[in-house]
Amino acid sequence: MRVDALALAELTLRKNFAYWKSRWSPCVEPSPELAIAAAIPTAHTFPSEIWIGDTARYPYREIFFEDRALLSRNSRTDRGKIQKGDPVRTMEDAIECNLHHFVFAYLAVHDPYYAEQGRPEDVAPTQWPFGVFIPHTLDEFPRCNATRRDLASPDVKNGTEGLEAQFLMPDDARRYAEYECQNDERHKGDFWHYWGGYQYWRDPKYKEENPWTWRLEFHYLNSVLVEQVSAVLWPVGMVRLESGGWRPTLTDNKEVQRFRMEYPGISLVTYNWDPDDFSDSLIRASYSVMRYYLDKGLFPDTAEDAWRYLENAS
């Protein structure tokens, strides 16, 4: 039976939660520490630059200064941003469920791989990735729904429950994450193992487990306005000047200043992105910034500040 993400029934989604919860047998109630999941922002990732054919595109400029929003694939098509013949990901299951009307985010760390899934830009690797933290206040059904997994996850493909059973109410999805951390022996009751803490990320075995296959996915109808997000992770790299010395990139072109001026209420957090540490530099930044935010209730100016804070705290 075809699932329509635009016409989901709350009752069905509640039943889905009950079903998945019942799969834990015995089901241990989550410890209070796992309540982090109830309000932690979700993560959306996109590249700063992509090349299609012989043309360079700069998604961050489109998002921040043209559209002023993260747009669903359908909205991008409507606005002529995806032309006929443009290389796009097929995302068959998601389209079958009408999920192309939604913006995707994950209840997890920012990961360049997420940007390769479900967006037109996935025809390119996610270089110089930007990260957006989306607040839980946007978890408003039916404009927002969640799935227990990425629909391409082997958990879904190999399961017998079908696509509809994967859909959850946003609050149930957060609650489900708590149950999962508590009851899935892989996580051993540690939320950060589920979420993608840097301390786990550095273990090659953790990557081999393909954490994306166990994480919850959130969907926001049509768009998420930049004004609505909690914070932006802004990548900075170093340029070796031919005249001598170094300078940071993506900060001297006045775009940071412009962002701060146009979005005074949104935290802009710079972080050092190193192409040699393709995923690690983003994941370290995302993790340390999130920990800092949860501890202090505000975002730092730079991810490096947050990392230093974490190191001192430990």
In terms of C-beta density within 10 A (0-12 exposed, 13-18 middle, 19 or more buried), how is residue 269 classed? buried
Residue 48's contacts (CB-CB under 8 Å, 6 or more residues apart) are 58, 59, 60, 127, 128, 129, 130, 235, 250
Instruction: Pick the closer one to other proteins by CB: 22 or 243.
Output: 243
Which chain residues interact with other proteins by CB under 8 A?
49-54, 56, 87, 112-113, 116, 123-125, 127-128, 204-205, 207-208, 237-243, 246-247, 249, 274-280
CA 254 to chain centre: 26
Q: Judged by CB, which is closer to other proteins: 185, or 208? A: 208
- In angstroms, the Cα distances linking 227 to 147, 208, 219, 231, 238 are 25, 36, 18, 10, 29
| Cβ closest to other proteins, residue 64 vs residue 167 | 64
d(CA 143, CA 281): 32
Minimum CB separation of residue 211 from other proteins in Å reads 10
Residue showing tokens 């241990």? 28
- Other CB atoms closer than 10 Å to residue 250's CB: what's the count? 19
Nearest to other proteins of 39, 238 (CB atom): 238
Strands 144-147 and 217-221: antiparallel
Instruction: Using the minimum distance from each CB to other proteins, give the nearer residue, 117 or 230.
Output: 117
What is the closest distance, in whole angstroms, from the C-beta atom of residue 142 to other proteins in the complex?
33
State the minimum distance, in angstroms, from the CB of residue 246 to other proteins: 8
Minimum Å gap between C-beta 304 and other proteins is 18
Of 77 and 127, nearer to other proteins (C-beta) is 127
Q: How far is the CB of 115 from other proteins (least distance, A)?
A: 12
Smallest separation (angstroms) from other proteins to the CB of 53: 5
Nearest CA-CA partner of 82 in 99, 104, 57: 57
